[in-house]
């Protein structure tokens, strides 16, 4: 029954996306080209609505049972409504953030899905107490916006999200978490159906409807899969979402160094840097897919490592990320501390 449902969701997404495309033009949910955008013509947004509807078809058929199910779906409705309104009339950043916080509150406060404590690697544990709710909300809102930030090229956010969902579903199966595995699988096939129309050259964009919905769902599923466990295991969802999280993290650093507001848009995200290096639109997307897949594999390897092995692994991973970031100029050509140290050592040797 599960495999049949996944097939139905996949086909539903393929059928619904062209219908949503027509709806987007009718209600004015379109994306106008400008100096920051890569596309050169008016494009329909709202594609995320097809992903959401296909996902809901799967949920209605399978009705996966879990104490968090209702609050997750209620939050999803809020986040999708926020996205639809933004795709139509472009909401202010504060209104969009409010919608995200309300969705997160439904999951965290009503549903009770929050990280209450973590066990330390060498004994003992940390209780978050009253901070468990705000910390969990920050995680959900942060990942939601991270997925939204990488939605800059045809098929990029949908593909990276799909890779993250494959990893989450696979690890949920290993851990015996049926609910997370089923929800991630339904969302995965719904996203892959949409990707048929979204991969370069795209016929429709997912818009904020899709980016916010995918970010919200991925953050919640990752949270459910790895909550109330060790420090080491808590790092797993961060590694899985390595591409959007690192891109967001370095965007914050870049804006701080350049003395710009955090909300200031720029053309220095990961995909912009790769495009400037001479890679084509499609090549850039495929390179980032490969990086996302490597993060997924790294998370799987990390989950099987010993405590000391995982600490060494994280240190090596952070070093590799920093070197890659500096080599492509993600934080600017002037800020390359690691490469400067290496160059100084070579000159001195």
User: Rounded to 5, what percent of the chain is helix, strand, coil?
Assistant: 70, 5, 25
Given a cut of 60, whether residue 117 has pLDDT beyond it is yes
| pLDDT attached to residue 84 | 96
Given a cut of 60, whether residue 39 has pLDDT beyond it is no
* Distance (Å, whole) CA 75 – CA 58: 17
* Distance (Å, whole) CA 127 – CA 98: 28
| pLDDT attached to residue 94 | 92
| pLDDT attached to residue 42 | 85
Look up the pTM and report it: 0.89
Is 165 within 8 Å of 188 (Cβ atoms)?
Answer: yes
Select the more confidently predicted residue: 228 or 160. Answer: 160
pLDDT mean across residues, the chain: 86
| pLDDT attached to residue 75 | 96
Select the more confidently predicted residue: 36 or 212. Answer: 212
Given a cut of 60, whether residue 229 has pLDDT beyond it is no
Nearest to 218 by CA among 141, 108, 112: 141
**pLDDT tens-digit readout, 292-307:** 999 988 888 887 777 7
Tokens for 264? 């200031």
- Count the residues in the chain: 349
Select the more confidently predicted residue: 308 or 29. Answer: 29
Nearest to 13 by CA among 44, 45, 57, 77: 57
Query: Which alpha helices (DSSP H) does 32-155 contain, by range?
Result: 48-62, 69-89, 93-105, 132-149
Q: What are phi and psi of 42, to 5 degrees?
A: -65, 130
The neighbour count for residue 31, using CB atoms within 10 Å, is 18
* Distance (Å, whole) CA 329 – CA 122: 38
**pLDDT tens-digit readout, 278-289:** 889 899 999 999
Q: How far is CA 70 from the centre of its chain?
A: 22
Given a cut of 90, whether residue 56 has pLDDT beyond it is yes
% of the chain residues with pLDDT over 70: 89
Nearest to 28 by CA among 44, 49, 16: 44
Question: What value does the mean pLDDT take over residues 27-41?
Answer: 70
pLDDT band at 227 (very low <50, low <70, confident <90, very high): low
| pLDDT attached to residue 36 | 54
Select the more confidently predicted residue: 304 or 168. Answer: 168
The mean-pLDDT minimum among 132-141, 222-231, 265-274, 325-334 falls in 222-231
| pLDDT attached to residue 78 | 97
Select the more confidently predicted residue: 65 or 157. Answer: 157
Given a cut of 80, whether residue 16 has pLDDT beyond it is yes
pLDDT band at 124 (very low <50, low <70, confident <90, very high): low
Question: What value does the mean pLDDT take over residues 79-93?
Answer: 93
| pLDDT attached to residue 230 | 54
| pLDDT attached to residue 261 | 75
| pLDDT attached to residue 25 | 93
Q: Concatenated DSSP letters for 259-296? A: T--TT---S-SHHHHHHHTT--HHHHHHHHHHHHHHHH
DSSP SS3 for 119: strand
pLDDT band at 189 (very low <50, low <70, confident <90, very high): very high
Question: What value does the mean pLDDT take over residues 236-247?
Answer: 87
């Amino acid at each position: 029954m599960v495999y049949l449902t996944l097939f139905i969701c996949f086909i539903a997404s393929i059928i619904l996306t062209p219908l949503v495309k027509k709806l987007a033009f009718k209600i004015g949910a379109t994306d106008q080209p400008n100096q920051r955008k890569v596309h050169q013509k008016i494009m329909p947004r709202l594609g995320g609505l097809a992903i959401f509807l296909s996902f809901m078809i799967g949920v209605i058929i399978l009705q996966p049972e879990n104490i968090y199910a209702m609050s997750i779906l209620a939050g999803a409705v809020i986040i999708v409504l926020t996205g639809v309104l933004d795709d139509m009339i472009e909401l202010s950043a504060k209104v969009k953030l409010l919608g995200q916080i309300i969705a997160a509150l439904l999951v965290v406060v009503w549903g009770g899905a929050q990280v209450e404590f973590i066990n330390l690697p060498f004994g003992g544990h940390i209780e978050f107490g009253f901070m468990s709710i705000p910390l969990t909300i920050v995680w959900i809102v942060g990942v939601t916006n991270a997925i939204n930030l990488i939605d800059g090229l045809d098929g990029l956010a949908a593909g990276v999200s799909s890779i993250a969902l494959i990893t989450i579903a696979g690890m949920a199966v290993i851990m015996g978490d049926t609910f997370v595995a089923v929800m991630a699988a339904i969302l995965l096939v719904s996203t892959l159906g949409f990707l048929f129309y979204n991969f370069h050259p795209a016929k429709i964009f997912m818009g904020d409807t899709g980016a916010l919905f995918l970010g919200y769902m991925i953050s919640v599923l990752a949270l459910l899969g790895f909550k109330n466990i060790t420090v080491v295991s808590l790092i797993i969802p961060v590694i899985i979402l390595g591409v959007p999280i690192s891109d967001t993290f370095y965007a914050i650093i870049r804006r701080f160094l350049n003395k710009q507001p955090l909300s200031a848009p720029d053309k220095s995200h990961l995909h912009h840097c790769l495009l400037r290096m001479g890679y084509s639109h499609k090549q850039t997307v495929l390179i980032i897919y490969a990086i996302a897949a490597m993060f997924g594999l790294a998370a799987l390897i990390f989950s099987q490592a010993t405590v000391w092995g995982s600490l060494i692994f994280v240190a090596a991973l952070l070093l590799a990320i920093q070197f890659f970031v500096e080599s492509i100029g993600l934080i600017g050509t002037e800020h390359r501390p690691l490469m400067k140290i290496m160059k100084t050592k070579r000159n001195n040797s």
